[in-house]
Amino acid sequence: MNVLGIETSCDETAAAVVADGCRVLSSAVFSQVALHRPHGGVVPEIASRQHVENLPRILDEALTQSGLRWSQLQAVAVTYGPGLASSLLVGLSAAKALALRLNIPLFGINHLEAHLYSVFLAPEAPSYAAACPLVALIVSGGHTCLVRVDAPGSYRRLGQTIDDAAGEAFDKGAKLLGLEYPGGPVIDRVSALGDANRIKFPRTRVLMKNFTGGLSPALCFSFSGLKTSLLYYLRDHPEAVSEPTLKDVAAGYQEATVDVLVRGAQRALQRERVQTLVVAGGVSLNRRLRARLLDMAASLRVRVLLPAPSHCADNAAMVAGLAGIGQGITGEAAWSLDACPNLEIGG
Ligand code: KG4
Ligand code: ZN
């Protein structure tokens, strides 16, 4: 099945064509990062306007690159949540219009499930069904959670952040350090030259169930204290926003963030007794996180599935791919789908 995917949940305008859930025929992404950078974060009004202006061009690009004609598409898949309401609506309206015009099925896709699926787009990856049961660590700009997957579509949330997402921790930390938005890639780059042990930042442990919505505190994350400790450190050491100290501060901050994520993933793997760890979302690009997770998993004899770098950040191939294996909301229910800004994964 040739599926056209559309993704407009945040600040990437993306379209892709994927055959049979795994062969990526094309993937076009327009990143709006440069337009949001002067504001230090994503501005929803700018994002939705940019989606309206760029989606037609990106759709054409995806189709041309795929080598297919409109008439050869067999379904349209679109992210309907979570994300920015006004941005989601642009993709959802375009997808409904296209599917109606082409007279082909529509699939509504959960953005977090799509991120998880991104690892199965790699040519060497096993099939999604064969990789289950698994534990997934989803780490993006807006979400940080641990999910158990028993079969495609069968999700159980094990843990999540009780405040900031991991990507948000990187973005806010970078801002305090005077580094540009988005902070994750810059902190990753600057930290590579620094000494992660010189300045120690706190690793917050969630201890009480009051904040976790019934989830096990041991599998939940908290990053807001880390950000505050960086704020206080910089108040006491104003010179640290410049070299030679900056790279050590960035490396220490990154190490604390990575440590918390790796410990959470390790506890989840041990409790759930599964043999596969999936890591997905924009933060899965982080080199230190990848290395530490691979080490931890090797010690537990667990295999790690990571997305290709081009499929870590928001893209539409993961959306089209997931629909290509029959997942998502389709049939009559898809036509009445509305944007769901707070959509979750696994209950
Ligand atoms: O998945 P994504 O593209 O968008 C959301 O769904 O949120 O994730 C974006 C997040 C941003 O917070 C960005 O700073 C972070 O991913 N990120 C990174 C790296 N590259 C992107 N964080 C740490 N290290 C990186 N190399
Ligand atoms: Zn995302």
For the Cβ of 314 lying below 6 angstroms from any atom of ligand 1, the answer is yes
pLDDT band at 213 (very low <50, low <70, confident <90, very high): confident
Superfamily designation of domain 2-117+311-335? ATPase, nucleotide binding domain (3.30.420.40)
Return the number of other C-beta atoms located less than 10 Å from residue 34's C-beta.
8
Pocket of ligand 1 contains residue 108 by CB under 6 Å: no
**pLDDT at position 221 over 90:** yes
> In one letter, which amino acid is 10?
C
pTM: 0.96
Pocket mutation for ligand 1, best pick of 139, 140, 311 (most atoms within 8 Å of C-beta):
140
- Kindly report the average pLDDT of the chain as a whole number: 96
User: Was domain 128-306 assigned CATH 3.30.420.40?
Assistant: yes
What does the buried/exposed string (b/e) look like for 44-77 if buried means 16 or more CB atoms within 10 Å of the residue's CB?
eeebbbbbbebbeebbebbbebbebeeeebebbb
**Residue 343 in contact with residue 157, Cβ under 8 Å?**
no
Task: Indicate if the pLDDT at residue 21 is higher than 90.
Answer: yes
Query: Average pLDDT in the 176-199 region?
Result: 96
For the Cβ of 182 lying below 6 angstroms from any atom of ligand 1, the answer is yes
Contact 289, 261 (CB under 8 A): yes
pLDDT in tens, 322-339: 999 999 999 999 999 999
CATH 3.30.420.40 domain locations along the chain: 2-117+311-335, 128-306
Residues 6+ away with beta carbon under 8 Å from 308: 121, 122
Q: Is residue 194 pLDDT above 90, yes or no?
A: yes
The beta-carbon contacts of 37-42 under 8 Å, at least 24 apart in sequence, are 37/180, 37/181, 40/175, 40/181, 41/171, 41/181, 42/10, 42/11, 42/84
Task: Check residue 64 and give its pLDDT.
Answer: 98
